[in-house]
Structure 1
Amino acid sequence: MYAKNKTITSSFKKVKQSTSYVKTPSEKRHSPQPSSSNAEENEMKMLKDFDLNWEYGPSMGISRLERWNRAEKHGLNPAPEVKQLLITHAEDERYTQCLWNDYKNIM
């Protein structure tokens, strides 16, 4: 059926792939720019990490800032960046309330 030294792929035409890719001018114009949503994602990740760090005690029933202050009071040295973020976004519940806040109404 197949001749010696032939593989199933040897019947397909070989096409050399280019090793470099150069963006066209239209692609350069439409390349994504860093956005504020990326900064917000980083901030939310920092707050989530704070919520999930049990070193600072339980987080249910108190705001993130109250938890941060409690941890500071007990000498646990929470990240000052978290406090600054909480103060900066004091009116936004996504920032002020812990990750578990939405689950308190389930129980």
Structure 2
Amino acid sequence: MGKFIIKTAKDGQHYFNLKANNGQTILSSEMYTTKSACNNGIDSVKKNAPDENRYEKLVAKNGQHYFNLKASNGQVIGTSEMYESSSGRDNGIDSVIENAPTATVEEE
């Protein structure tokens, strides 16, 4: 089962990473000014992750593949790591779909 890890940046802002069963980070959030807002972001990921239409598949300038998970209002709520191939990216999306809805939340 996956898990969300909430962290606090040096400037006091909060962010989360979604990690798969193997410990690999599969989705990272933006910075939030409060822990409450960070938790709302996690709730949004859990809600939107199962909907394949919420994923925006992208290619970086260096040719690597990645994706954004968007909320119903179009706001990006998570960004993936970089992948060498589109199939790797698609596997990452599948992992978010599988792990996010039931992931536990931990603070680091």
TM range (shorter): under 0.3
TM-score calculated relative to the size of structure 2: 0.26
More strand, by proportion:
2
TM-score calculated relative to the size of structure 1: 0.26
* Higher Rg: 1
More helix, by proportion:
1
Q: Which has the higher contact order (CA 8 A, sep 6+)?
A: 2
